[in-house]
Amino acid sequence: MKKSSLVRAGLLLCGSVWWSASAVAGELLTMTYQDAAAKHASIVDVRSSNFYQGWPMEGEQQGGHVVGAVNISGDWKITDEQWPRLLAEKKLTKDQPVALYGDKRQVAEVAQMLERKHGFTKLYELADWQSAPRERLARWQQLVYPQWLESLRKGEKIVEAPKGDWKLFEVDWGAPKTFLLGHIPGAGYIDTNAIESEPLWNKVANADLEKFLLGKGIRHDTTVILYGRNTMAAARAAQIMMYAGVEDVRLLDGGFEAWKNQYVRMLPTETGLPKEYAPAKDFGVTIPQHPEYLIDVPGAKKVLAEKDGALVSVRSWPEFTGETSGYSYIKPKGDIPGAKWGHAGVDANDMSDYHNPDGTMKDASQIVDMWAQWGITPDKQVSFYCGTGWRASEAFYYAWLMDWKRISVYDGGWYEWSMDPKNPIATGERKPN
C-alpha cells in the first residue's frame, strides 16, 4: 500500500459513590456489584484499556473487566468534541446511575468530568469490583502494552511471556526515515514493500514471503511483536505472517504513540539503524499454513453469493458512498454492491472508529455493536477489505482477537475490484441489508 451487544446493565468494579453537584473532589457513595445490577446501573472501568481487555494487574490472578462494564480511562485526553460521541458509544446517559471502578485518582477524574461537564449526578464507586465476575477479550495476550514489552526487553518475569525466541519490529511503508529519529530500543524494521507489491499492493508470492521471513530470522514458532506509527501497517504485516503460519503474532496496542505517552513512567527510545536479526535456516512448516486468511476477487464474489457471507468494506463513509476513492492512485469512486459497511475513520489513513481516544483498541463490545448494525456477526463467513489491505487487516486482527472463526481479508480490495470494468459499482447512500 502506498501512503496517501453486550448487556450494559449493572456490573462493574471499584467503590461506588454518589458524586453530588456540590462535590469537587469528595468521596463518592459506594455501590456493590449486586446493587448495580438491581438498579440497572451502567458500570465504567476507568483503568488503562490493557487491564480492561484482559491483562491482570499486579497481584491479580485474572485480568479483564467486570461483566458488562465499559472503559473510559482516566488517562485519556478526551476533547470536548469527542465526549458526546464517546458517551453515546458507551450508552451512558445522565439520568441513569453510573458506577465507576479502578484507581481512586482516575475514578475521581472521570466522575468530576461526567458531573461538571455533562450533568451526571447519580455517580457511584463500585466497592466490590475486585471480587465481581470478570470477562475479557478472547485473545487478550496478543494485544500487548508498553510496560509489558519493556519488562520483556529487560528480561523481567512477566505473564504470557513468549515460549521461545521473540523478535520486535516496527512496520511502515518505505525507508525507515522516521524510525532513525527514534524507536523502541532493539526493534528491527519491516518495510511493507517487502510483503506486498505493485501494481495491486497484494501479498507477494509465497516464495518471496518465505525468503523475507527467513531474512528477518522469523520461523513459524518465533514470537513476533509488531508496532507502528500507524497500527494499520503493523496489522497488515501481522495478518500476512499469520497467513504464512507464524503461530504467535502480537501487536503493541496503540503503537509507538502508546510507548511514548506513558503516564506511569517514561519509557526509553533510541535513534539509529534498525536491529538486524540473524537469518533463519528454515521456516519449519509449509507456507501458507492458513490460506483461508486471504481471498482473491473470485473468493470475494463467492462470499457475496453465500447466504451466510459478509463482504465487509473497512473504508470511510465518503469512500463507501462514492464521494471519493480515498487514494490519489485509485481513480474509480464507489464500492462493491452487496458489501456491508464495516466503518473505519475519516479517510484512508484513519481507523478512529476502532480506537479509543489514545489510539488503543476500543471495547470489543463496541466494535461488535458497530458491525451488528450492518449484519456483520460472528456466525457468518466474514471477509474484510479496504482500498488495498491495511485497514482490512486491522479489522481482521480485532475479529481474530475476539475469536471469530471464519474470517479473512479480501486482498485486492477496492483497488483490484475497480480496475475491471466488468465488475459492478455501487454509489450513493446505502443502508444495512
Q: Would you call 410 exposed, middle or buried from its count of C-beta atoms within 10 A (0-12, 13-18, 19+)?
A: buried
386 catalytically annotated? yes
Cell 530470522 -> residue = 217
Cell 486468511 -> residue = 293
Helix 364-372 crosses helix 390-401 at what angle (to 10 degrees)? 110
Lookup: cell for 135? 470477562
Q: Assess contact for 342 and 384: CB atoms under 8 A.
A: yes
Distance CA 29, CA 98 (A): 11
Count the neighbouring beta carbons within 10 Å of the beta carbon of residue 83. Answer: 16
Nearest alpha carbon to residue 341 among 232, 429, 239 = 429
In the set 252, 386, 395, 409, the catalytic residue is 386
Lookup: cell for 360? 488503543
Count the neighbouring beta carbons within 10 Å of the beta carbon of residue 168. Answer: 23
The count of C-alpha atoms lying within 13 angstroms of the C-alpha of 433, restricted to the half-sphere facing its C-beta, is: 14
H-helix or E-strand spanning residue 143: strand 143-144
Where does 126-273 have alpha helices with state H? 146-153, 177-181, 206-215, 231-244, 255-260
H-helix or E-strand spanning residue 3: none
SS3 state of residue 396: helix
Lookup: cell for 290? 492458513
Where does 60-215 have alpha helices with state H? 82-89, 104-118, 146-153, 177-181, 206-215
Distances (CA, A) of 230 to 147, 197, 216: 19, 19, 21
Q: Would you call 211 exposed, middle or buried from its count of C-beta atoms within 10 A (0-12, 13-18, 19+)?
A: middle
Distance CA 10, CA 389 (A): 39
Which residues are part of the catalytic machinery? 386
